[in-house]
Amino acid sequence: MKKKSKILIVAANPKDTSRLRLDEEVREIEQALHRSSRRAVFALKAIWAPRSRDLRRALLDEQPQIVHFSGHGDVNGLVLENAIGDAVVVPPEALRDLFNLFSDSLGCVLLNACYSKIQAAALATRISHVIGMNEEIADGSAIEFAVGFYDALSAGRPVEQAFQFGCNAIDLLGRPNKPQPIIISRSDIQPTGDVLLSANHIYRFRAECQPDVDNLRSLLSRGFDKITIINSPPFPDVEVELETELSLEELRAVMRRVVDGHVMVQTVALRDEYTGERDYDLVT
């Protein structure tokens, strides 16, 4: 008998994070696989409320060919749980090192979580295909993407085409400013580990004081190439230049996590469009 392709769904929604419709997403994936004439080809296993040790054990026990993460994420990593059910952010490097241990059997990872492209790029150094989200994605869009992807995969389409079906499922919702899923293959990775399709942006912004910039640097971790203080006048306000792959909205999302980061959020812009003026309409 032909060995089944195992899909491991990792569903994480810690109690101190906003509620997601994870049960609906898993049910829709199960239905997409079950309705297919090729349903006998796939075996599905879901783990709920996973801690990092639960993820490791599930990978060891199941040896999946596909891992589907459903939950929260930001530019600093994916969100799992700790022993009491609160959120723990797993850095991209730690996730990469874990998944690398299974790269001989793991062919595809789908990170159905906000701002997961950095994690996707880290994993794609050893995994054939990794899918992530370029920005924030709404529950409904995440579910539609998953249904489109598994409808096509269970119909025998290759991963790249299944990704296109997932993107089209979002398009068919007819929503403006739709999210931008991305797919990264090992062939997209340079020997240096950089993603060939990535392009850096240079931003400028103001911050109330140097400690705010230091806090931002810490939150970004390795998610930037260069950060420079342009001027440091006698008063606390400083002007900063930052080079990063992050989109403007991704960068603002990190800035909103800085205590008193409102000046940064309200002034940040691409270097060529920077004025230094605050946009007070922006929610901080």
Residue 58: predicted pLDDT = 97
Only one residue has tokens 């007070």, namely: 280
Single pTM value for the model: 0.68
Q: How far apart are CA 186 and CA 128, in angstroms?
A: 5
Residue 234: predicted pLDDT = 67
The domains of the chain, with CATH numbers, are: 5-188 (3.40.50.1460), 201-273 (3.30.70)
pLDDT digits (tens, 9 = 90+) for 226-278: 788 887 666 678 999 998 878 888 888 889 989 889 999 999 998 888 999 99
DSSP 51: B
The answer to whether 149 and 108 are in contact (CB under 8 A) is no
What b-and-e string marks burial along 36-59, b requiring 16 or more CB atoms within 10 Å of the CB? beeeeebbbebbeebbeebbeebb
What b-and-e string marks burial along 167-199, b requiring 16 or more CB atoms within 10 Å of the CB? bebbeeeeeeeebebbbbeeebbeeeeebeeee
Name the band, by pLDDT with cuts 50, 70 and 90, for residue 196. very low
